[in-house]
Structure formats: structure tokens, C-alpha cells
Amino acid sequence: MPEVSRETTERLAAFEALVRKWNPAVNLVSRASLADLRQRHIEDSVQLLGFSGLTAGHWVDLGTGGGFPGLVIAILAMDLPNLRVTCIESDNRKAAFLATVVRELGLPATILAERIEAAPPQQGDVVSARALAPLGELLPLALRHLQPGGMAIFPKGARYATEVAAAREAWRFDLTEAPSRTDLDARLLKLEGLTRA
């Protein structure tokens, strides 16, 4: 994990404890990945902020689920006072969990308990989504919530190249990719200049 303040480390630990507490009732992450929560979910989310290069503005996370990456970005944003986060999550139980974390940890985040395609356009500088849908399905959702000049950040697994090729049939975008620090087969994708082909 990159260098973060002691307070941020403590907030990440508090968030991890809340995920573990709520998971049996709400199924925030799979039981199999709960044992490796720090690496599989938290550190995997932490790397997205550095990859984005964003230090101020509005980060919009689609389908936040158990808080990944949206609430992890919000925790990191406590050290970046001009960065705010909006998490969109349609599952009311997961949205209630997200709202609880925001309240208990005092995070600079807003929770929208709505479907992504029905939520008001958010004008994000960054739109992210993790383990939500194939790239081709993500792009219309991302475009709805991006402001002009914004970027989309998607961590993708071993089949990322196939998803990119399929998406390019209907979309134009500039792509920057980087290896994931938590999964040797995965890639971080940054899409800019997103338009329909």
C-alpha cells in the first residue's frame, strides 16, 4: 500500500472491521475473499487513486457494493480536502451499509441508493466501477455520469483485452493501462475522450 497518514490507516482498519461485521447479514464480499479482504478488496481499490492522478474534484463510483473502490477512495480523500466521492448503489441494504460507514468515519462521500441509469448525471471527473459488468456495458453508464474531459477507471481481470476489443466496436476512447499491484493477470484501465463510434 502507498504511504498514507496514520489517520488514514486507522480509518481503513475501521472500515475493514465494519465490512467484517456487516458481511454475514448483507453479503458485501464473497465468503471466500473475506479472509483476504485487505489485499483482494482494500489494496486493490487503493491503487486506483494513484493511477487516476486525481487529487481534487468529483469521483463517482458505480455499483459500489461493499464500498470498493468508492469508500476506499473516500477514506483516502480525507488527506485530499478538495476531493469528494459519490457512490451509486441500487441494493438498499448495501446502500445502508455505505451510509453507515460514511457517517461513522466522517467521510467526504454521498450515497445514492438508485439504479445507475436512473440516477441524475453526476458530472464526475472520474467514474469508476469494479467487478460490475463487461466494459461494453459499463461505457454507456460511465458516459452518463462523466463530465466532458473526465476519465473512466476500471480494474479488469485476465480477459481485459477481449473486453477492450469488443468495446472498441461501438466506442472511441484513448486507453492507458497499467498492471494491477494485487493480481498479476489483471490490468487497470483508464479511458479518456470517451464517445460513441
Is 24 among the domain residues?
Answer: yes
**pLDDT of res. 132:** 93
Is 120 among the domain residues?
Answer: yes
Q: How far apart are CA 68 and CA 72, in angstroms?
A: 6
Which contiguous run of DSSP H or E holds residue 104? Answer: helix 92-105
Is 96 among the domain residues?
Answer: yes
Q: How far apart are CA 146 and CA 106, in angstroms?
A: 25
CA 24, distance to chain mean position in Å, is: 22
Q: Running DSSP on this structure, what letter comes out for residue 40? A: I
Is 32 among the domain residues?
Answer: yes
Is 1 among the domain residues?
Answer: no
Specify the number of domains making up the chain.
Answer: 1
pLDDT by residue for the chain (197 residues), tens digit each? 456 789 999 999 999 999 999 999 998 988 878 777 888 899 999 999 999 999 999 999 999 999 999 999 999 999 998 999 999 999 999 999 999 999 999 999 999 999 999 999 999 999 999 989 999 999 999 999 999 999 999 999 999 999 999 999 999 999 999 999 998 999 999 999 999 99
**pLDDT of res. 1:** 47
Is 50 among the domain residues?
Answer: yes
**Residue 111: which domain range?**
6-196
The Cα-based distances of 126 to 18, 36, 141, 153 in angstroms read 26, 27, 13, 7
Q: How many CA atoms lie within 13 A of 58 on its CB side?
A: 16
* Partners of 187 in the β-ladder: 156, 179
Q: What CATH number is attached to the domain comprising 88?
A: 3.40.50.150
Of 20, 69, 64, 77, the closest CA to residue 43 belongs to 69
* Rounded to 5°, angle at Cα 29 from 27 and 32: 105
Q: How far apart are CA 5 and CA 20, in angstroms?
A: 23
Is 152 among the domain residues?
Answer: yes
**pLDDT of res. 28:** 93
Q: How far apart are CA 145 and CA 127, in angstroms?
A: 7
- What are residue 125's phi and psi, to 5 degrees? -75, -35
Q: Pairing state of beta strands 171-179 and 187-196?
A: antiparallel
- What are residue 12's phi and psi, to 5 degrees? -60, -40
**0.85 cut: is pTM over it?**
yes
**pLDDT of res. 2:** 52
